[in-house]
């Protein structure tokens, strides 16, 4: 499956308080976020992910800038620069981040026409908290914290090293919205428990990320219905674990590719009308996350293997115009949908890749997942 995801920002205020609770009860449950006549504010970051057939003419699922303009004109006036509690969607619903992303998903879905399908909406309220609403109705809430001074055994600067370094942990919870508070759970309590647990944790020896994931999983169950944990180290290596017999290991790589968008069957004027300024030769800093699936009980450091394959596949791409200099892309539009599909095709025979994430810009993301995922 291919997903094209557009990110954009908006600002709003809200107050976490039930209309039928006393001030004391709201303060006891929601804390400081229940205060104020018009609440408090956030700079939200919204990601809207869509799927659909890749158009042969353009090589795109859709033009993401047009998707953004559509949502800005039809959906976002209900959410941007407003007091959310006063909006119709929250007349009898506390505008928590989970409730807001659920409302945005429903409003956005109504604006999309076939064959486009809204797959997911991601809403980040703060660096430590976000929520995701999926097409199948599932809702996730995640908390991200940093564990300080954790001994780790990782691949660093070309060799396996034991270092002491901060470890980023993201814990994802899956729920139905609580009908009383419209949180996935009492989020403040979860954050407090998580913070206390993280501060108290000490590892007796250096472990790999996979070993830490297996160690953390049973310990974190006291926080609530944990659906998945993700660990990140040094910004380039990560793993996700969901209590199964496998772990998803990932590496982050950065690439410097030039490209341009062109349909060779069209005239220059037609290409310019179709692709706009992207018809001109240009380029981006591309951020690629490559994820493979491995046994949770393999005592090995998998990152070097992934890096070796990714580097082998892309070694001829960096610092070049891939659409003008590589035969792989000649005669193709050169869109990110084309690029990520080609990457998947070349990586799959070498490693059990299950997911690729390619950021063309901070606002444009493309996700490839193996069909069985």
Task: CATH number for 1-137: choose from 3.30.479.10, 3.10.350.10, 3.90.1170.40, 3.50.40.10.
Answer: 3.30.479.10
CA distance 239 to 129: 19
pLDDT tens-place string over residues 42-99? 999 999 999 999 999 999 999 999 999 999 999 999 999 999 999 998 988 889 899 9
Residue 153 has pLDDT above 60, yes or no: yes
By 3-state DSSP, what share of the chain in percent is helix, strand and coil, each rounded to 5?
30, 35, 30
Q: How confident is the model at residue 289 (pLDDT cuts 50, 70, 90)?
A: very high
Residue 187 has pLDDT above 60, yes or no: no
What's the mean pLDDT in 11-37? 87
Residue 8 has pLDDT above 80, yes or no: yes
- The answer to which of 153-162, 179-188, 218-227, 240-249 has the lowest mean pLDDT is 179-188
pLDDT value of position 192: 58
The secondary structure of residue 152, as a DSSP letter, is E
What's the mean pLDDT in 254-261? 95
Residue 177 has pLDDT above 70, yes or no: no
Q: How confident is the model at residue 173 (pLDDT cuts 50, 70, 90)?
A: confident
Share of the chain above pLDDT 90, in %: 58
Query: Could you tell me if 143 and 171 are in contact, meaning their C-beta atoms sit under 8 angstroms apart?
Result: yes
pLDDT value of position 178: 60
For the range 75-78, what are the long-range contacts, defined as Cβ-Cβ under 8 Å and sequence gap of 24 or more?
75/104, 75/107, 75/108, 75/111, 76/10, 78/103, 78/107
Label each residue of 47-103 as H, E or C: EEEEECCCCCCCCCCCCHHHHHHHHHHHCHHHCCCCEHHHCHHHCCCCCCHHHHHHH
pLDDT value of position 185: 45
- The answer to which of 132-136, 169-173, 291-295, 310-314 has the lowest mean pLDDT is 169-173
Query: Could you tell me if 217 and 246 are in contact, meaning their C-beta atoms sit under 8 angstroms apart?
Result: no
Stated as kind and residue range, the H or E segment containing 46 is strand 40-51
Share of the chain above pLDDT 70, in %: 90
Name the more confident of 158 and 367: 367
| Domain residue limits, the chain | 1-137
Q: How confident is the model at residue 188 (pLDDT cuts 50, 70, 90)?
A: low
| Average pLDDT of every residue of the chain | 88
């Amino acid at each position: 499956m291919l997903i094209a995801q557009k990110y954009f920002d908006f600002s709003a205020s809200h107050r976490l308080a039930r209309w039928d609770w006393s001030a004391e009860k709201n303060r006891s449950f929601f804390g400081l976020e229940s205060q104020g006549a018009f609440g408090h504010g956030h700079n939200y970051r919204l990601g809207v992910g869509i799927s659909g057939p890749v158009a042969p003419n353009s090589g795109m699922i859709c033009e993401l800038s047009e998707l953004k303009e559509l949502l800005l004109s039809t959906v976002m006036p209900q959410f941007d620069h407003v007091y959310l509690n006063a909006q119709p969607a929250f007349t009898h619903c506390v505008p928590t981040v989970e409730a807001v992303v659920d409302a945005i998903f429903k409003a956005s879905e109504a604006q999309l026409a076939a064959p486009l399908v809204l797959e997911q909406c991601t809403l980040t309220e703060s660096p430590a908290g976000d929520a995701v609403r999926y097409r199948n109705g599932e809702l996730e809430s995640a908390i991200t914290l940093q564990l300080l001074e954790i001994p780790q055994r990782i691949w660093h600067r070309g060799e396996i090293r034991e270092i002491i370094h901060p470890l980023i942990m993201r814990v994802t919870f899956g729920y139905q919205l609580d009908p009383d508070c419209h949180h996935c759970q009492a989020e403040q309590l979860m954050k407090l428990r998580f913070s206390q647990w993280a501060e108290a944790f000490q590892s007796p020896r250096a472990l790999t990320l996979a070993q830490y994931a297996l160690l953390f999983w049973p310990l974190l169950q006291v926080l609530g219905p944990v659906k998945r944990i993700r660990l990140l180290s040094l910004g380039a290596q990560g793993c996700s674990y969901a209590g199964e017999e496998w772990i998803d290991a990932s590496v982050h790589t950065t690439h410097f590719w030039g490209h341009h968008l062109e349909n060779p069957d069209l005239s220059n004027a037609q290409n310019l009308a179709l692709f706009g300024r992207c018809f001109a030769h240009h380029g981006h800093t591309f951020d690629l996350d490559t994820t493979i699936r491995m046994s949770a009980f393999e005592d090995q450091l998998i990152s070097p293997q992934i890096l070796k394959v990714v580097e082998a596949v892309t070694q001829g791409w960096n610092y070049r115009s891939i659409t003008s200099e590589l035969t792989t892309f000649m005669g193709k539009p050169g869109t990110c949908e084309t690029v990520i599909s080609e990457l998947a095709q070349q990586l799959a025979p070498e490693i059990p890749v299950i997911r690729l994430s390619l950021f063309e810009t901070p606002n444009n993301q493309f996700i490839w997942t193996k069909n069985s995922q």
